[in-house]
Amino acid sequence: METTTVSELTVPSAVDSGTATPVSSPVASSSASITGSSKKSAQKRKKPATPTEPSSPATKASKMEVNGEQKSVPEQPSSSSKKQKKKQSPEGKETTTKKQKAAGSKQAVFHIKLYSAPKQPTATTTAAIEKKKRAKKQTANTAPAGTGTPNGTQSAPEAVKKQSKKKRTPKVNGTDAVGPAASVTPLKKVSQIKQEPKTPQRVSFNRSITTPAGTALHELDSVTIGRQTFAWLIGPDTSVDEFMRTYWEQKPLLVQRHDPAYYASLLSRAMIDEMLRTNNIEYTKNIDITSYRDGQRETHNPDGRVLPPDLWHFYGTGCSVRMLNPQTYLRSVYELNVKLQEYFHCMTGANFYLTPPGSQGFAPHYDDIEAFVLQIEGRKRWRLYGPREPREQLARVSSDNLSQDELVGPPIVDVVLEAGDMLYFPRGCIHQAATVPGAHSLHITVSVYQRNCWADLFEQMLPIALATAADEERTLREGLPLDLHQHFGIVHSDEMSAERRRLIVRMRTMFDKLFSDTAIDAAVDQLAKRFQHDALPPLVDFGEWDDTVYGAGNYEFRPDGTVRCARPIDERCSVRLLRRNILRLVSEDEKLRIYYHTDNSREYHQYEANFLELDHETALGVELLIKMYPQYVLVRNLPVEDRLEFIRSLWEKGLIVCRREGEETGSPAGSGTLASTTAP
């Protein structure tokens, strides 16, 4: 809100027949800002005509200087031709001399609006309202109409009191720092000064997460936290179970909440501007400038860093802005994605799209991801179309840009998303979106399940299964029949000879031998290994911060220059994995490895995959931690010979939470049982 400060300017008034008439100061009608004026620039302006009183033709004009400009004000007749001198007050304000006051001059009080930090409106009680009413009534009965300051209010005291240090206007280079839009306006009544409404409380997905009694948030299973975060994303009317049963990979879902602030904490144009100013964001790598006009999709990316003036210029000319990885730079999007990836057990991505009013940035197309469109600001019209052929359903690869003529039939969904709404559609769903006239759009598209279908699993499994079965089954190593070429191929595809039928049965029998449990386990491990490389690094909760390698106070820095471990790990400590999916134990190349993502960057695949090699005994300790999560395990109960070295290795990589003796509220340390998951 605008805070107001009253400043008094003394202006001599003309006297006509002994009646004092208030005269408006030229400052009140000036639209120039208080700051930024100079005498040089003021001299170039045309001086206003000298005001005269019709009833006093002999009135002379005296000059006063306001903001560096010479302003003419009426002066009462005097036998002396000398001008009265003005005294300068300690605060820098001009005051009249006693001789001027005796001549009948009056003071006109003006209201200066200064911009400062916004203040929350104060609560108004019934007693205060009644007190104001009585004061107004008393003022109306005692003060004559038409006197004093404008709007019929009484003038302030003539003597200007010094402001306290707390209320003084800040100075910059010896000059009062006034906001760029500061102006001088007549004084208003207190009841006429408007106060800005309180900012509505924004909804955060963290507040939607519920915990059992006596359990802290960070003690929950990370998959449970991810599920509750997803429930917030699609809720509140649609449950996760209903969504998975009715909509997931089947049909679109539209959620209209009529709550513009539902997703407001995730992103805003101001957050985008700050991100560009404080990070080295690059065109093409991070941001695309696009347009779609007359059926042509174009990209307008220059080279180098994206700076705010350039981006807002493109936006102002009707171009759309797409950012490919906002989770790298915006904590709100990063926190959302890092929780969802635990629930979906796969990489969770996000793009944001900023589109000016009445424009479209992309051609119709379909994607290879499950899409959740979160409308942040403005309005946007979405049109979804059914697949043109069966292979486009749950597509594994995104399409090229499509023309309007390639779209089959009318849209199956045609809706305008408002701020706070959500739209889901599965892989392969053709879509296009455009803003409506007079409204911009800012939305985030959260994406999951890219390359995460059965075919992707079988691509991993079949080579492993074939290699394993070929070593174990002699029949797979036998030579092919001599007449195979005479019964198979495009020429013989329409024939069904007895020999062809016999060979088909034999091939199916051998193919069944490929599917072994070992091959399936190895293939799933490879997909999980890929997830460890794709995943965002974990977001450590404040409640568990001090129990991880990231916490403060783990080391004591002594005056003699030595450093001592202030929180040593011993066999009385209890440990657990930081997250359920924080690592994956994989057998490959005749070695045991754990792949993990704590050392990943928030930028996709900035580093190579991280892993540690283990022996079989150490792998048993990792297996126990995986199976016991989210419970804590006493270090001395781990089936590892060098338990302390094993735990320190995991702790230094940020993979575990370690509680010292006396910090947990579960089973007492040294009891030989598993520690409880109850928060301290």
The pLDDT, as a whole number, for residue 619 is 95
**Fold of the domain built from segment(s) 217-451:** Jelly Rolls (2.60.120)
The pLDDT, as a whole number, for residue 11 is 35
How far is it, in rounded angstroms, from Cα 660 to Cα 674? 14
The pLDDT, as a whole number, for residue 555 is 84
- Per residue in 502-531, is it b (16+ CB within 10 Å) or e — as a string? ebeeeeeeeeebbeeeebbebbebbbbbbb
The pLDDT, as a whole number, for residue 217 is 80
In sequence order, which ranges of 345-411 are alpha helices (DSSP H)?
none
Could you list the mean pLDDT of each consecutive 10-residue stretch along the chain, which spans 680 residues? 35 39 37 39 41 42 45 46 42 43 41 36 48 60 44 40 40 38 36 34 60 78 96 96 98 97 97 97 98 95 97 97 97 97 97 97 97 98 96 96 93 97 98 97 98 96 93 93 94 92 94 88 96 97 89 86 88 95 94 96 96 94 97 95 94 93 48 34
* 635 SS3 class: helix
pLDDT digits (tens, 9 = 90+) for 139-197: 555 544 444 443 444 444 444 344 443 334 333 334 443 333 333 333 333 333 333 33
Do 217-451 and 535-660 agree at the fold level? Answer: no
Question: Of all helices (H) and strands (E), which one includes residue 315?
Answer: helix 308-316
The pLDDT, as a whole number, for residue 328 is 97
Tell me the Ramachandran region of residue 451: left when phi exceeds 0, alpha when psi lies from -120 to 50, beta otherwise: left
The pLDDT, as a whole number, for residue 265 is 96
The pLDDT, as a whole number, for residue 679 is 33
Q: Report in angstroms the alpha-carbon separations of 70 from 28, 48, 205, 499.
A: 15, 9, 60, 113
**Fold of the domain built from segment(s) 535-660:** Outer Surface Protein A; domain 3 (3.90.930)
Domain boundaries, the chain: 217-451, 453-478+514-522, 535-660
- Cβ atoms 109, 185 nearer than 8 A: no
Q: Which tokens belong to 574?
A: 């209890």
Amino acid at 372: F
The pLDDT, as a whole number, for residue 341 is 98
DSSP of 78-89: -S--SPPP-EEP
Q: How many CB atoms lie within 10 A of CB 2?
A: 16
